[in-house]
């Protein structure tokens, strides 16, 4: 550590050695947005692992040999079972297994893609391995396969591991069939929704398909229904949640094909999740005809039904009529199964009474639904909705599951207009007949939505977009193309569902006026033009657009706003006259085109069209259009125009939005203004006033998960930028919940990364790691492992490894990021420069200074060229280069770089902003190395104050600053003051507890030379032994180990406890320092040899 000379008891000041290696490296990684990077730092040698090494374990921990052999035949079965049981409850061993699991990433791609060798399909014993997954214990068995609780060491989490029986492949037991089913399972793995059990990974294990899924503590919906009698509202609420998960699969173009109460889980947390998508198929897949006499080997009432060739078809009692007939299956088959299960849940009886297969088939095909119990209190309107979903002909059912769920929710909450109550009463009086007839009428009158999307998003456009994206040639193009198509499928599905719902509200249910229908259809027309603009560009996409396409597709304006009757009615009417209407329509098409161009990376073109649209809007004089166009110009000009001009445009947009009575536009304009103004610390008060107005206006908008998530995330990023991480965390968590509710998977993943960043800053490393890994899992399912969007969260994961002192793991992560970004952006790009910076930081930690300098100089050149001489990223690079030079014995050159970096930061944040804390600390260490001890102490005291301002006076980060202060004081010969600083650091870490305790080893190591200099060798020895115990599983750096050995050798010699061992350690340290071939190590070597000569320890 810098500033800690070797000084034995009784030695003169001339016997002091040079300062120890520096402690302050930093990395750059995304923290405030999908496409932005912020500079972050941490005190290098003083940071500990994410768990306390002092927590007791229930049984002796597993050694690395046992963990490495786990899941192989090298470990006896009994030992495997014991190890698996221990692993199930020991976080420490799971972390070590996770670290060993990083070796898997070194396999060549061909090996990773090949099916894993598997034994015969008997039940697996605890401790067995399926690929990287370690079996913990069996959970259950069904018609399709067995389910186990398992542990994933790579992502450090428990999973449910399902292995499909080989016989379940049936007719698909060919190479092509397996590949197709594997693709279908992988498609399901790309679905992430709060009411769907997440599939983390799918693959082949010998002849078996395996799925690694979210592990849910809870019970099946069947068990939940049988647990006790439940009111109809309670049952309906649970089914609506399950239906939302099922509808999410439909939005991805997938059909479940075996929905039933056994395939819905009610978690201990109350959350409902649909599971067992083992039969999932693409929409429109052809069912095998079911012969009249077909039977299941299991109970025909609940067990899955197989054909003679073994292919599972579904479960009798829930199979739709078209399934029996072997017709094309789509989401309406799932709707039938959902309604059959809901009927059973509401009335405690099946909708079709027969149990014998032939009789059951006849009842389903003829639509003979059983009468409901006379004592039932379920409203007739609900029964009519369920009956419609059980119609024999798919076209007579609800237009979509979303529509059915919306109607059920209205029945659940009792929200009906007067005409709606009258309709319900009539339905109750006329029973089901009129309900079915009404549903059929609605299907005919309001079924024109898909036709409206012809040429916008239909089969031909979809195929063209997928083909164009795949032909860009990037390795991740196929995955990206599929994901973009699925996103647009979902958007189109929401559009057609909203079209039908709006139509039915007026034409069928008579609960909505013709005027409101017209407003909703105008809104839907605008959303259709947004979709048309994007799909038109995607049909001619290039490689650059490929990278932006997922964000562009997920960022389309929400269709849900077209159901906000209050907002639609409050908007100003369009300008009178056909000519004015035509101009308005053309203007809004231009705005759609501008937004799509910008979203796909063609920012200059998009801005030019937005600017032209703004002029046209001013000429037209229609205030809502003026607000829309000015907002677009301000948003798209943020990276192209001077900040003052952008701010003026956004203020004009906000003024126009207020005059237009459009709160959503006002929220967007103010949100952008907050982001812009937050870049200047001197405008903090004005920014806070705007934040208050933004918060009030957002609350006025009402229920809109996507809008609320965006605002919460923007406020969280503002807090994080100010270093207010404790305030940022709950805001990010609120945003995360809203993104999950809105079904925005990409922003869910990005926000998990934001939370990981904040929790890393707060020292909550286990939670940070878990959240970031979950986000990475989502993005990899959506985009594949090679898409550059993944690197944003991988950078955060690398930073967490770095803070936990898992340096080789961090280096491996950053090397992966470097490979991905070089392919995606080219070797001379800014994103590559950022990861070069991170690589340099890790290599500094590993004492590979020459390599670090190469990476950092490359980063500096790239970032200055691409981001300018005043960018924060360049400042981070210069600061790290300063650390390299200081370690190489050039403190004056290092100081110049630290000060240049600090000057850049002052330009962004002001003179005494907390973000300057670590730069100030680095400058203090350089001053200390240069012998300017008085100035170094002043600078370090200022650094401590900034740390307290940024992180709080009692936090682990501030403790690290006090530890560095101790180094500087020790270098100046002020040992008693240094001892007090180290004591303060120790007290703060012990008070913080938890993960912070693991950082104590660095304080113990740091204070030992001070105690030796004061002649208190026994105390120094006690601290050094505490350092060894507290380090736990953390990796030793070469220099760290050598310096620890020097202090320990001196302490053992000085106390006389074990001089032979002390001399051995001193010699080992001397050889290690000689091998480094660097100036600082050489000076340490000279000092150590002088001390050994003085003590006659040679």
Active site positions, annotated: 258
Cβ–Cβ < 8 Å for 340, 333: no
Tokens of 274: 């649909």
Identify the bridge partners of residue 24 per DSSP, sorted by sequence position: 43
Q: Residue 263 to residues 6, 242, 296, 916: CA-CA distances in angstroms?
A: 67, 10, 18, 54
* Torsion angle of the four alpha carbons 233, 237, 239, 245, in this order, in degrees rounded to the nearest 10: 170
Q: How many whole angstroms separate alpha carbon 1050 and alpha carbon 1046? A: 6
684 φ/ψ sector (left φ>0, alpha ψ -120 to 50, else beta) = alpha
Cβ–Cβ < 8 Å for 492, 457: yes
The set of residues, in sequence order, having a beta carbon less than 8 Å from that of 106 and lying 6+ positions away, is none
Q: How many whole angstroms separate alpha carbon 339 and alpha carbon 334? A: 9
Q: How many whole angstroms separate alpha carbon 46 and alpha carbon 615? A: 58
Give the phi and the psi of residue 246 in degrees, each rounded to 5: -65, -40
Cβ–Cβ < 8 Å for 836, 855: yes
Give the phi and the psi of residue 124 in degrees, each rounded to 5: -90, 140
Exposure on the CB side of residue 659, measured as CA atoms within 13 A: 14
The set of residues, in sequence order, having a beta carbon less than 8 Å from that of 507 and lying 6+ positions away, is 442, 445, 446
Cβ–Cβ < 8 Å for 19, 63: no
Q: How many whole angstroms separate alpha carbon 296 and alpha carbon 303? A: 7
What is the CA angle 623-596-590, rounded to 5? 40
Q: How far is CA 876 from the centre of its chain?
A: 25
Cβ–Cβ < 8 Å for 705, 741: yes
Checking DSSP bridges between strand 328-329 and strand 285-286, what pairing results, if any?
A: antiparallel
Torsion over CA: 230, 234, 235, 241 (sign) = negative
Cβ–Cβ < 8 Å for 554, 779: no
Q: How many whole angstroms separate alpha carbon 122 and alpha carbon 508? A: 56
Q: How many whole angstroms separate alpha carbon 842 and alpha carbon 823? A: 22
Q: How many whole angstroms separate alpha carbon 801 and alpha carbon 105? A: 16
Q: Residue 925 to residues 579, 787, 933, 941, 975: CA-CA distances in angstroms?
A: 71, 40, 9, 12, 17
SS3 761: helix
User: What is the chain's alpha carbon radius of gyration, rounded to the nearest angstrom?
Assistant: 33
262 DSSP assignment: G
Closest by CA to 240, choosing from 382, 367, 135, is 382
Q: Which long-range contacts (CB under 8 A, 24 or more apart) does 813-819 make?
A: 814/838, 814/839, 814/842, 815/839, 816/105, 817/791
Exposure on the CB side of residue 273, measured as CA atoms within 13 A: 24
What is the number of other CB atoms lying within 10 angstroms of the CB of residue 59? 11
Q: How many whole angstroms separate alpha carbon 388 and alpha carbon 347? A: 16
Mark 271-298 as b/e (b = at least 16 C-beta within 10 Å): ebbbbbbbbbbebeeebbebeeebebee
Q: What angle, rounded to 10 degrees, do the helices at 917-929 and 956-971 form? A: 20
């Amino acid at each position: 550590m810098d500033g800690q000379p070797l000084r034995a008891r009784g030695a003169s000041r001339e016997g002091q050695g040079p300062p120890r290696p520096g402690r302050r490296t930093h990395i750059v990684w995304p923290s405030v947005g999908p496409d932005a990077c912020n500079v972050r730092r941490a005190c290098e040698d003083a940071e500990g692992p994410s768990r306390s090494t002092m927590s007791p374990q229930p049984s002796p921990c597993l050694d690395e040999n046992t963990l490495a052999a786990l899941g192989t035949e090298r470990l006896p079965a009994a030992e495997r079972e014991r190890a698996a049981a221990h692993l199930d409850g020991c976080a420490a061993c799971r972390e070590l297994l996770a670290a060993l699991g990083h070796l898997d990433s070194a396999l060549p791609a061909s090996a990773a893609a090949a099916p894993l060798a598997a034994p015969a399909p008997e039940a697996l014993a605890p401790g067995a391995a399926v690929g990287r997954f370690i079996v913990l214990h069996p959970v259950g068995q069904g018609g399709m396969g067995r389910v186990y609780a398992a542990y994933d060491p790579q992502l450090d989490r428990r999973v449910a591991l399902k292995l499909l029986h080989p016989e379940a492949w049936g007719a698909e037991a060919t190479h092509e069939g397996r590949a197709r089913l594997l693709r279908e399972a992988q498609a399901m793995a790309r679905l992430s929704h709060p009411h769907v059990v997440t599939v983390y990974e799918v693959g082949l294990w010998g002849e078996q398909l395996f799925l690694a899924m979210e592990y849910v503590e809870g019970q099946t919906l069947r068990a939940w229904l049988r647990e006790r009698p439940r009111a109809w509202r309670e049952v309906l609420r649970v089914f609506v949640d399950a239906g939302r998960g099922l509808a999410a699969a439909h939005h991805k173009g997938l059909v479940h094909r075996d929905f039933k109460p056994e395939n819905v889980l009610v978690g201990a947390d109350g959350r409902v999740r649909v599971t067992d998508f083992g039969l999932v198929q693409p929409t429109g897949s052809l069912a095998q005809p079911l012969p009249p006499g077909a039977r299941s080997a299991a109970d025909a009432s609940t067990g899955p039904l197989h054909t003679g060739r073994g292919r599972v078809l579904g479960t009798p009692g829930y199979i739709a009529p078209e399934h029996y007939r072997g017709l094309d299956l789509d989401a309406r088959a799932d709707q039938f199964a959902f309604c059959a299960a809901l009927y059973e849940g509401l009335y405690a009886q099946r909708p079709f009474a027969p149990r014998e297969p032939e009789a059951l088939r006849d009842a389903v095909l003829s639509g003979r639904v059983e009468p409901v119990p006379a004592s039932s209190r379920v409203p007739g309107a609900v029964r009519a909705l369920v009956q419609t979903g059980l119609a024999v002909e798919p076209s007579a059912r609800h237009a979509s599951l979303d529509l059915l769920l919306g109607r059920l929710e209205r029945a659940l909450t009792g929200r009906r207009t007067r005409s709606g109550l009258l309709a319900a009463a009539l339905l109750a009086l006329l029973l089901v007949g009129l309900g079915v007839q009404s549903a059929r009428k609605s299907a005919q009158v309001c079924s024109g939505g898909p036709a409206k999307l012809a040429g916008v998003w239909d089969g031909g456009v979809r195929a063209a977009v997928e083909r164009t994206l795949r032909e860009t040639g990037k390795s991740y193009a196929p995955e990206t193309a599929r994901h973009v198509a699925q996103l647009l499928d979902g958007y189109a599905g929401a559009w057609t569902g909203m079209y039908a719902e709006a139509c039915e509200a007026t034409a069928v249910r008579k609960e909505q006026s013709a005027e409101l229908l017209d407003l909703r259809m105008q809104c839907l027309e605008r959303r259709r033009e947004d979709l048309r603009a994007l799909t038109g560009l995607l049909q001619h996409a290039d490689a650059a657009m490929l990278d932006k396409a997922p964000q562009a597709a997920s960022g389309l304006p929400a269709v849900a706003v077209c159901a906000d009757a209050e907002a639609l009615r409050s908007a100003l009417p369009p300008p009178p006259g056909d000519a004015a209407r035509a101009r308005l329509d053309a203007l809004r098409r231009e705005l759609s085109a501008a937004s799509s161009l910008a979203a796909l990376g063609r920012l200059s073109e998009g801005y030019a069209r937005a600017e032209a649209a703004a002029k046209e809007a001013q000429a037209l004089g229609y205030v809502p259009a003026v607000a829309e166009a000015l907002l677009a110009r301000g948003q798209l000009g943020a990276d192209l125009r001077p900040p003052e001009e952008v701010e003026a445009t956004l203020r004009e947009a906000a003024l126009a939005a207020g005059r237009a009575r459009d709160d959503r536009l006002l929220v967007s304009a103010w949100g952008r203004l907050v982001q812009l103004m937050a870049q200047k610390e001197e405008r903090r008060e004005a920014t806070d006033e705007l934040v208050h107005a933004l918060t009030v206006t957002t609350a006025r908008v009402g229920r809109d998960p996507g809008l609320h998530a965006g605002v919460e995330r923007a406020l969280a990023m503002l807090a994080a930028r100010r270093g207010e991480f404790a305030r940022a965390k709950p805001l990010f968590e609120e945003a995360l919940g809203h993104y999950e509710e809105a079904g925005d998977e990409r922003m869910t993943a990005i926000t998990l990364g934001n939370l990981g960043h904040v929790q890393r800053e707060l020292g909550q490393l286990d939670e940070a790691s878990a959240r970031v890994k979950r986000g990475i899992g989502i993005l990899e399912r959506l985009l594949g492992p090679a898409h550059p969007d993944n690197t944003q969260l991988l950078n955060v994961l690398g930073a967490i490894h770095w803070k936990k002192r898992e340096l080789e793991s961090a280096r491996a992560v950053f090397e992966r990021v470097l490979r991905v970004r070089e392919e995606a952006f080219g070797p001379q790009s800014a994103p590559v420069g950022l990861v070069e910076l991170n690589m340099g930081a890790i290599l500094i930690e590993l004492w590979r200074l020459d390599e670090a300098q190469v990476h950092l100089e490359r980063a500096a050149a790239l970032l200055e060229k691409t981001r300018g001489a005043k960018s924060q990223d360049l400042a981070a690079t210069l600061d790290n280069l300063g650390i390299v030079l200081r370690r190489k014995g050039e403190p004056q050159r290092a100081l110049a770089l630290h000060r240049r970096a600090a000057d850049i930061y002052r330009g962004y944040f002001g003179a005494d902003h907390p973000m300057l804390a670590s730069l100030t600390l680095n400058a203090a260490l350089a001053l200390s190395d240069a012998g300017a001890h008085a100035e170094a102490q002043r600078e370090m005291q200022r650094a401590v104050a900034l740390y307290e301002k940024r992180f709080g006076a009692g936090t682990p980060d501030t403790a690290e600053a006090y530890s560095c202060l101790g180094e500087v004081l020790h270098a100046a010969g002020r040992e008693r003051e240094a001892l007090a600083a180290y004591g303060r650091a120790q007290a703060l870490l012990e008070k913080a507890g938890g993960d912070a305790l693991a950082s104590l080893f660095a304080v113990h190591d740091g204070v030992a030379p001070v105690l030796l200099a004061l002649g208190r060798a026994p105390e120094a020895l006690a601290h050094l032994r505490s350092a060894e115990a507290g380090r736990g599983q953390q990796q030793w750096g070469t220099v760290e180990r050598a310096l620890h050995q020097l202090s320990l050798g001196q302490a053992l010699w000085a106390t006389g406890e074990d001089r032979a061992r002390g001399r051995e350690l001193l010699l080992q340290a001397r050889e290690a320092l000689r091998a480094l071939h660097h100036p600082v190590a050489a000076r340490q070597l000279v000092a150590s040899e002088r001390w050994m000569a003085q003590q006659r320890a040679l």
